[in-house]
Structure 1
Amino acid sequence: MTPEQLSAALTAALSAAIEAGDLRLPEGESLPEVRVERPKSRAHGDWATNIALQLGKKAGMAPRALAELLIPRFTEIEGVSSVEIAGPGFLNLRLDAASTGQLAAAILEQGAAYGRNDSLAGQVINVEFVSANPTGPLHIGHTRWAALGDALGRVLSASGADVTREYYINDAGTQMNVFAASILARLKGESVPEGGYPGAYVQELADAIAADHPDVKELTDEAALPVLRAEGYALQMQDIKDTLAAFNVEFDTYFSESDLHESGAVEKAVERLREQGHVYEQDGAVWLRTTDFTDDKDRVMIRANGEPTYFAADAAYYLSKKDRGYDQKIYLLGADHHGYIGRLKAIASAAGDNADHNIEILIGQLISVNGARLSKRAGNIIELKDLVEWLGTDALRYSLARFPADSPMTIDPDLLRSRTNDNPVFYVQYAHARSCSAAEKAEAAGVTRTGFEPARLDSAGDEALLAALSRFPAVVAEAARFREPHRVARYLESLASDYHSWYGENRIAPRAGEDLTPAHHARRHLNDATTQVLANGLALLGVSAPTRM
């Protein structure tokens, strides 16, 4: 029995109590969602629910009295062997071995869908992350958000949300002109201008553009710069997309900042906020009164010279997300963007949104890599593609996903490249590979997934592993609710530990000379269910599940 099936059965029992008149709720009051969770101690049962505490006041009864009323009905549920009251009215439930073991078959039936839930059903969410300037290669500063942002999008989707992963291309402003000027200098065999981009990749761009457009060298500087800007931009964005693809990260939308300016969206945003009563003019500039919404100072939107600020583009971008139907907008920003929290929330409030609901800003702390060399191609940075080539996508993504975003971290390359149990990604992937190997050996010994008798999964190890597997949907839901994909990684490590212990104590295939029994077939089901959950969890982190290691 899955947690969802048990919750549904408890809800049906409560509805029956209401129909029979044993339980009365105020008119118009509906039953709350019945949730079950694992008790902290297995000695207290298989599952616990606080539904009696939730309903006590509404039903006009003390929670313990209501719990006493519910015990006979809950005990009648098929598969529930006993129900006990704990504390002020918690109900602890024990399932019989057959119902507990049935979870293995349910997991195998659901396959890749096991763990998916509807806790965020109906929510439409935009997750914006990475959003690096298209003036250079992705580097270590973008790596953490690439891994975490993608994993966050996956757990949100797995929890029923309608998610769009978006990359905001900062392709407007002075830096693009400096970028073009740097390419021009390399094309002419000159040093880049002061404040330009010195990396060797700029020379590569210049050479590639010259090869595709040999006449560009014959143009005047004034005529060449727009060509170099457009071609350099296209080539660098393709490099960014290729690097992200190698890192197993895909975006649904690439949104251009320049489109905001060219479409008039920035000016329209100013006028929309003016209509809300939050825009004023002073010293020839146009301001947004963000101090009305706890920002530390008001922000200039249009400078005295008529030029819009980056803040004006930020406001237009937020309104674009709002107009595109995203009720919730999640921004994943780097450690140097703490100052953006107040101003972005002020934009949301000025636009008439609830800054505590419609916008979330997650700040990621810096990471470092022991012994990493700076990229000769990119200059004084460590390129993401170099890290992927050095450490591998799986090791890098898993290690970045297993810590909260707001905790600084240092990556140990020697550990991530090791094939030992001290390496977390190896430990989890090895559990998956080991379970695949165990299934192959069992199949060769005649142990199949037929004739499943769930009651045979009755050892302490069986029960512990089943309990661990049952937690997965709740872990996914919590990771989505709290925006913390690292909960999935830590769960997988715990599950791998439970599996390795179970594997060492329980036979899947019979020893030489032993008879094949229903217990062997049952444990084959449990083994394969564990394989499925490990694979599902790794997929949420964008990490592969190898069958051999």
Structure 2
Amino acid sequence: MKEYLHKKLLASLASLGLATDAPPIFESPRQPDHGDLTTNIAMVLARKLKRNPRELAQQIIGRLDVDHTLVAKIEVAGPGFMNFFFTGKFYQQQLRELVVCGDRYGRSEQNGPMATQVEFVSANPTGPLTVGHGRGAVFGDTIARLLEWTGHRVEREYYFNNAGRQMRILGDSVRLRYLELLGDPIEFPEDYYQGEYIKDIARHLVERQGDGLRNEPATGKFKGQAEQEIFADIKKTLKLLGIEFQSFFNENSLYETGKIAEVIEELRRRDLVYEKEGALWFKTSALGAEQDKVIVKSTGEPTYRLPDIAYHREKFRRGYDLMIDVFGSDHVATYPDVLAALKALDYDTEKVKVLIHQFVTITQEGEVVKMSTRKANFITLDELIEDVGADVVRYFFLMRTITSHLNFDLALARQQSDENPVYYLQYAHARICSILRYAEQSGHASFSPDADYALLTTGAEMDLIKILLQLPEVIASCASSYEPHRLAEYLHSVAGIFHRFYHECRVVSESADLTKARLALCNATRIVIRNGLSVLGISAPEQM
């Protein structure tokens, strides 16, 4: 309807000889008696034209050619708002369309399909995924799902580094634990990788190789075995959350193919690098930063910025229309320099969207949970999944904006009651499925294509219909703003309004026609909750 009214409003303005740079914006009024949609376009234009906004609004309405079987009336309110009231026929048509669309309801192609890459998680294979990685993983996957639902072709990519100092330390850590298992005395440095998972990898090597690796360098089979086992565990953990990647990109390939050297040469040709104190500096001050940054240390080892620049050049060369990076807050200081370098190298950085998520704290009854586990000296993501379940983990990671710190309440997550928002949502879906099963057992079809939606007139019924019809717009809005938490909030509201409808309106009654209509409304609610949960990557059980 917004698109329909948008076209009609522009035609009305054109007939009055009025042009507007800003397109009309329609919003849902806060108060139901103010209609179904409202716009302030008359007030915006009146300021420019120095005219009375209420009079201008009346003129615009006078030229509006709308279908009055869909739009009951248009009123001017307050200082010049134009409030649109829809007919019951409009809602009946939309509800019928919702039920017919079924699993596809909510899908759209807002701005045409774009080739999109979403890069997320990107944790090096040095240990189990943390809950912080989990937040980025669930958020990144849900952004990909939202974009797919709005018509984009999406590729999920995992970027990792199996070289460098941390991987060398990993190999050394496993080697020392291996020698320890053979009975050799060792000194284990504090900055080496702790946790039982290192001992497990070493134990596997002893079982397969015996003492045959005593003289093996840490960067050989020790590092290789560790990387293989840890990466397998990472992929297994992500799969528990329903996350699978289409591609994995190894940072080391950038060195092997000369892409790192290419970046240095390109920056040098533009006079954007110089040497000082044995290090190579990126002249970010020439690009608006306060100070220059080291991109190659005096040891010859690059900092994060250099391979990130090279990696993003490769992304551009693959021809994506949109590249989304999901980073933890530890990237706040580095990504602006990467974007500045790409812009200096003549790449369109408008195609790159960086999304930063904040930290996660595990709490229980208001207290921060600080504990070591068998696997590591932190709570691992797979242990959290095992504790509360994948659906709960996904929802809790998504129910707050990523710009805010997240307190993951373990006690709440473990509850199977309405206080747990995941349980509340899934229970609403299961209750609807139960109603539909009961109806069939009572001789009623769970869905009748000839249901008379005009019989749905109570306040509870109309409130439910109106919120159900918002799903396509909510999904599109969440996709364009990269805010999946708003979809979680919307679904919670849908469940609440459905519960009110269920308590106020008897679904299976003596009236066969009214029963048909209310069963159709239940079915529509089931579709919306199920589709919304699908976008969030959460299951919709039919029984609980």
| AA at the equivalent of 2:279 | A
Q: State the match for 2:519 in structure 1.
A: 524
For residues 69 and 484 of structure 1, what CA distance do their matches in structure 2 show?
A: 35
Contact 1:140 1:381 in 2 (8 A): no
Which residue type is aligned with residue 480 of structure 2? R
Partner of 1:386: 383
Partner SS for 1:221: coil
Q: Distance in 2 between matches of 1:546 and 1:354?
A: 44
Moved more, 495-504 or 350-359: 350-359
Quick one: distance in 2 between partners of 1:12 and 1:519? 36
Give 3-state SS (helix, strand or coil) of 1:218's partner: coil
Q: Name the CA shift for 1:59/1:477 in 2 (closer, same or farther; >3 Å).
A: farther
1:49 is displaced (CA, Å) by 4.1
Q: Distance in 1 between matches of 2:333 and 2:415?
A: 39
Q: 1:531 to 1:59 in 2, by over 3 A?
A: farther
Count of residue pairs brought into register by the alignment = 533
CA distance in 1, matches of 2:443, 2:324: 51
Give 5+ residue unaligned stretches, structure 2. none
Q: 1:467 corresponds to which residue?
A: 466
Identify if the C-alpha distance between structure 1 residues 140 and 495 changes in structure 2 by more than 3 Å, giving closer, same or farther: same
Contact 1:99–1:454 (8 Å) recurs in 2:
no
Contact 1:345 1:359 in 2 (8 A): no
Residue 182 of structure 1 deviates from its aligned partner by 1.8
SS at match of 2:376: coil
Greater Cα shift, 239-248 or 403-412: 403-412
CA gap 1:108/1:234 in 2 versus in 1, 3 angstroms:
same
Are residue 221 (structure 1) and residue 181 (structure 2) matched?
no
Q: Find 1:416's aligned residue among 407, 413, 416.
A: 413
AA aligned to 1:176 is M
2:307 to 307, 310, 313: 313
Is the counterpart of residue 407 in structure 1 residue 404 in structure 2? yes
Residue 199 of structure 1 corresponds to which residue in structure 2? 195
Q: Distance in 1 between matches of 2:84 and 2:442?
A: 37
1:547 — aligned with what?
542
Mark the CA change 1:112 to 1:270 in structure 2 (over 3 Å): closer, same or farther.
farther
Picking from 125, 146, 151, the partner of 1:155 is: 146
What amino acid is aligned across from residue 308 of structure 2 in structure 1?
D
Deviation digits for residues 511-531 of structure 1, max 9, x if unmatched?
xxx242x22211111111111
CA gap of 1:54–1:163, structure 2 versus 1, over 3 A, is farther
Taking only the aligned residue pairs, the percentage that are identical comes to 34
Q: Which residue does 1:3 correspond to in 2?
A: none
| Cα distance in 2 between the residues matched to 1:233 and 1:286 | 30
Report 1:231-250 matches (<5 A): 231-250=225-244
Any residues of structure 2 matched to 1:86-165 within 5 Å, and which? 86-87=77-78, 89-165=80-156
Equivalent residue of 2:140, what SS? helix
8 A contact 1:296–1:342 mirrored in 2? no
Deviates more, 1:528-537 or 1:160-169: 160-169
Superposed displacement of residue 495, structure 1: 1.0
Q: Deviations over 1:229-286 (max 9, x none)?
A: 2232122111100011012222222211111111111111212233344223334433
**CA shift at 1:100, angstroms?**
1.1
154-163 vs 97-106, which moves further: 154-163
Q: What TM-score, normalized by structure 2, do the two folds share?
A: 0.88
* Among 48, 69, 85, the residue aligned to 2:38: 48
- 1:536 paired residue among 531, 535, 541: 531
Which stretch of structure 1 is more off in the superposition, 281-290 or 527-536?
Answer: 281-290
> Structure 1, residues 177-204: CA drift from partner, whole Å, max 9, x if none?
2211222222222547423223211222
Q: Structure 1: which amino acid aligns with 2:508?
A: A
Per the TM alignment, residue 297 of structure 1 is displaced from its structure 2 partner at its CA by: 2.3
Please state how far the C-alpha of 1:57 moved relative to its aligned partner. Answer: 9.8
Q: Displacement, 1:304? A: 4.2
- 2:204 corresponding residue in structure 1: 208
Partners of 1:112 and 1:276 in 2: how far apart?
A: 53
CA gap of 1:342–1:532, structure 2 versus 1, over 3 A, is: same
CA shift digits 1:285-312 (9 cap, x unpaired): 3321112334342122234454433321
How many angstroms apart in 1 are the aligned matches of 2:501 and 2:122?
Answer: 44
Cα-Cα RMSD: 3.0
Task: Give how far 1:483 is off.
Answer: 1.8
